Amino acid sequence: MRINRIAVGENISLDQSLDMLPLEPVFKKYKNKHGSLIPLLQAAQTHFGYLPGQVFQMIADETGIPVADIYGVATFYAQFRLKPVGKNIIKVCHGTACHVQNANSITEAMRNELHLKDGETTPDGLFTLESVACLGCCSLAPVMMIGDNTYGKLNGKSAVKIVREIKMNASVGKQ
């Protein structure tokens, strides 16, 4: 999981058109506070959904922490993403409890339904598929989380049904 995330396929984007203004208040809040790097990265990711290249430069300029160290931290933690993600992140739990209750079949069903591998995003930008280690609802295993919603006692079929519903709602929303 970790390796996949670090070895990004595309070049890390340095899109100049990104609007960094919304992050100003966060920088103010953490100005001159020690230990602020992770909260800053978290705030940036909450805003953009991932960590665009520019964020690293901006944090370096503001805090004086070398860019290399910031990359070191960002790639250490599973939470941080270096490339854009889909609107809905499907986190299939592969913790112990879910593993023994056949979590693999959920991931497999998702792969077939969305034609994705772990860590990939659908071309329409609607879904990203991820594996995580325990969502803390182990007694409902196997479990997956989409956005803020957790779904338990799944099987391949019911998981696909949930994803199809989201798909349908999204296409209704567009019309």
Q: Restricting to residues 107-166, name those near ligand FES by CB under 6 A.
A: 134-138, 141, 143
> Toward another protein, which CB reaches closer, 16 or 38?
38
The minimum distance between CB 79 and ligand FES, in angstroms, equals: 17
Q: Of 126 and 146, which CB lies nearer to ligand FES in the complex structure?
A: 146
Dihedral of CA atoms 56, 4, 125, 67 in degrees, nearest 10, equals 0
In angstroms, the CA 73 to CA 93 distance is: 24
Token pair 């969502």 is found at 135
CB 58 within 8 A of CB 14: no
Considering the rule CB under 6 A, would residue 93 count as an interface residue with ligand FES?
Answer: yes
- Binding residues for another protein, rule: CB under 8 A, are 1-2, 34-39, 41-42, 72-73, 76-80, 93-101, 132-141, 143, 148-153
How many other CB atoms sit within 10 Å of the CB of residue 147? 11
Show the DSSP H helices in 77-142 as ranges: 96-100, 103-114
CA–CA separation, 90 and 118 (whole Å)? 10
Decide whether 79 or 171 has the Cβ nearer to ligand FES. 79
Residue 12 CB, nearest approach to ligand FES (Å): 31
Q: 78 is in the binding site of which of ligand FES, another protein, none (Cβ under 5 to 8 A by kind)?
A: another protein
Residues that bind ligand FES (CB under 6 A): 93, 95-98, 134-138, 141, 143
